[in-house]
Amino acid sequence: MTDRSKATSWKESLTVYWDRRQLVIFMMGFSSGLPLLLGFSTLSWWLSGENIPKTVITGLLIVATPYSFKFLWAPILDQVQLPILKNRLGQRRSWLLVIQVLLIVSIVALGASDPRNGLTYMAVSALLVAFFSASQDIVIDAYRIEILREFEQGAGAAATQAGYRVGLLVAGAVPLALSDFISWFWVYFFMATLVVVGIIATFLAPEPNLKAPEDTRIIKIGAVLQRAIVNPFTDFCGRRGWVWVLCFVLLYKYGDAIAGALFNPFFRELGFSGTQIALIVKTYGVPMTMVGVLTGGVLVARIGIFAALFFGGVLQAITNLCFVWLAAHPNGATEVGLFIAIAADNFTGGLGSTAFVAFLSALCNIRFTATQFALFTSFMALGRTYMAVPSGWLVDEIGWTNFFITSTALAVPALLLLIIVRRHASEIFPPRN
Tell me the pLDDT tens digit for each residue of 393-414: 888 889 889 999 998 898 899 9
Q: How many CB atoms lie within 10 A of CB 315?
A: 17
Q: What pLDDT is recorded for position 41?
A: 78
399 Ramachandran zone, left/alpha/beta (phi>0; psi -120 to 50): left
The pLDDT of residue 3 is above 60: no
Q: What pLDDT is recorded for position 189?
A: 96
Contact 372, 235 (CB under 8 A): yes
Give the pLDDT mean for 331-341.
76
pLDDT tens-digit series, residues 30-51:
999 899 888 877 888 888 888 8
CA geometry: angle at 60 spanning 54 and 66, to 5°? Answer: 150
338 CB burial (10 A radius; 0-12, 13-18, 19+): buried
Map out the domains of the chain as residue ranges.
10-209+224-428
- Identify the CA nearest to 205 among candidates 295, 97, 103, 108: 97
The pLDDT of residue 136 is above 90: yes
Per-residue DSSP letter, 229: I
Q: What pLDDT is recorded for position 20?
A: 67
Residue 223: pLDDT band by 50, 70, 90 thresholds?
low
- Identify the CA nearest to 350 among candidates 253, 250, 251, 247: 253
Name the least confident of 194-208, 225-239, 286-300, 337-351.
Answer: 225-239
Distance, in Å, from the CA atom of 300 to the CA atom of 155, rounded to the nearest integer, reads 9
Contact 33, 167 (CB under 8 A): yes
The pLDDT of residue 294 is above 70: yes
Give the pLDDT mean for 273-297.
80
pLDDT tens-digit series, residues 409-420:
988 999 999 999
Assigned superfamily of 10-209+224-428: MFS general substrate transporter like domains (1.20.1250.20)
